[in-house]
Amino acid sequence: MIHNFTGMRAALDDADAGLALTARFLREAFAESPGTA
Amino acid sequence: MPLHPQAQAVVEGNTWNSVDPDEIGIDALRATMNTRLIELAGTGPEVATVAEFAVDSGTARIPIRVYRPRSPGISLPAYVYFHSGGYCVYDIDTADAQCRVIANQADCVVVSVGYRLAPEARFPAAVDDAWAALRWVASHPQDVGIDGSALAVGGESCGGTLATVCALLARDTGKPVLRGAVLSCALILMGQAQVGEKKTLATWMRDQYLRQAEDAIDWRASPMRRPDLEGLPRTCLSLGNSTAYANRPMPMPNGSMRPATGPKSPTFRG
């Protein structure tokens, strides 16, 4: 139950940090060539 | 770690803690929880375009929603996203706001996948749909307006499980090549039903999703059971600070046990 709650929490505006982390990670991942991770 | 007061207020008023799904039924459960989440998430920011497609997963046609942060004409990277909801609730509408945020902030196309839900569609239907959606996106870059060589997957909770399984399938089959995976509170090891276990909404959802108890040890439900987790794309693992395993050593894809928080694991207060 707690697990699912936190899944929902990440969808909330209060979890801006989580979305920002996701966006930052994606920008960095897309900026690199495949296989360079 | 105590919850943020706003988070605590959500917990106390949360449907998770206050309903008997056997009593109200799946339709009412979805209506209640989906509405609640949409209210909490808000409408999200504007994006340049939103388009709907239908993907054939073999036994069903599933909806996907494509968010573009900028006007068509430029091929952008794509993030294929799987929503949360214990395989039973939530959908692409409940994920709408955050998909808009990520599209704008990451400057990429976000593809939100409306995989089938339990109990109508049991394991491994959601896996089949998720994998079909990823392959469809990879094979239709012009339709979606993306750079097919720049793909990532991700999701929350059970959506993180689906993303993990897709990353493993992509590695196993050699395509599509993924640049990254975002696993947010992913359920990577599902517990089997136990005699006398406390009934919760989470265990109820598990029992709606799985065809039989043994499905819990299938790697497509518990991808951490795969012995070969090497060779996955770079991965962002995020945990809520109230998860049972936060601040504990956790198994990593390379088989080691690392602390969930540390110098290379930035943490954000919820």
Of B148-157, B172-181, B192-201, B253-262, least confident by mean pLDDT is B253-262
Q: Which two tokens stand for residue B21?
A: 């799904």
CB of B11 within 8 Å of any CB in chain A? yes
Contact A13 B238 (CB under 8 A): no
Confidence class for position B265, pLDDT limits 50, 70, 90: very low
pLDDT at B77: 97
Question: Best-predicted range by mean pLDDT among B13-22, B75-84, B252-261?
Answer: B75-84
CB atoms within 10 A of CB B263: 6
Q: Quick one: average pLDDT of A26-37? A: 77
CA distance B121 to B114: 13
Residue B156: which of A17, A3, A13, A20 has the closest Cα? A3
| Residues whose CB is less than 8 angstroms from the CB of residue A11 and which lie 6 or more positions away in sequence, other chains included | B37, B40, B41, B84, B94, B95, B97, B98, B156
Q: How many CB pairs under 8 A join A and B?
A: 148
Residues of B in contact with A7 (CB under 8 A): 84-85, 156-160, 184-185, 240
Residue B160: which of B250, B246, B221 has the closest Cα? B221
Share of chain A above pLDDT 90, in %: 27
Contact B77 A3 (CB under 8 A): no
pLDDT at B205: 94
pLDDT at B247: 45
* B256: pLDDT strictly greater than 70: no
pLDDT at B41: 87
> Are the CB atoms for B204 and B22 separated by under 8 Å?
yes
CA distance B89 to B61: 18
* B3: pLDDT strictly greater than 90: no
pLDDT at B260: 41
For B32-89, how does the pLDDT look when each residue is reduced to its tens digit (9 = 90+)? 999 989 998 889 999 999 999 999 999 999 999 999 998 888 899 999 999 999 999 9
Confidence class for position B8, pLDDT limits 50, 70, 90: low
Confidence class for position A29, pLDDT limits 50, 70, 90: very high
pLDDT at B9: 57
Contact A37 B268 (CB under 8 A): no
Confidence class for position B180, pLDDT limits 50, 70, 90: very high
CB atoms within 10 A of CB B247: 13
pTM equals 0.85
Q: 3-state class of B153 per DSSP?
A: strand
Contact B16 A37 (CB under 8 A): no
| Residues whose CB is less than 8 angstroms from the CB of residue B174 and which lie 6 or more positions away in sequence, other chains included | none
Q: Which two tokens stand for residue B54?
A: 């239908």
CA distance B144 to chain A (A): 17
